[in-house]
Amino acid sequence: MNWGGPEFVLVIIAICSGGWVFNNWIRARHGYALEDEWGGKTERPDHSAAARLAEENAQLRARLEALEGRTATLETIVTDSGYSTAAQIENLRDGRPIAINGKVGA
């Protein structure tokens, strides 16, 4: 074999490429990160994190809907004219003056 010829260079390139392919095959088989051609690592996507985030998102949406329902109920109670009547009755019980249409009465 001619050590200075192009065949020797091609054999070295083939050995290096074959070793790289074999290394990545072993890594993929055992679940390790793969190497790209520049020596960087390529991680596998973590699907369990996406599933956790989707579940948490669904829980938060359900909680938000429940809170919106409660807020709507509270708005209905506060804007109801019966609420102001009940507040006036409570003020009379406590002995505080009540305001009717902006005027303070006894």
pLDDT in tens, 56-76: 999 999 999 999 988 988 887
- What's the rounded Cα separation, in Å, for the pair 58 and 52? 10
3-state helix, strand, coil in the chain (%, to 5): 70, 10, 25
Token pair belonging to 6: 């192009």
Pairing type for strands 98-100 and 103-105 reads antiparallel
- What's the rounded Cα separation, in Å, for the pair 8 and 1? 8
Kindly report the pTM of this predicted structure: 0.37
Mean pLDDT of 82-100: 71
* pLDDT on residue 66: 93
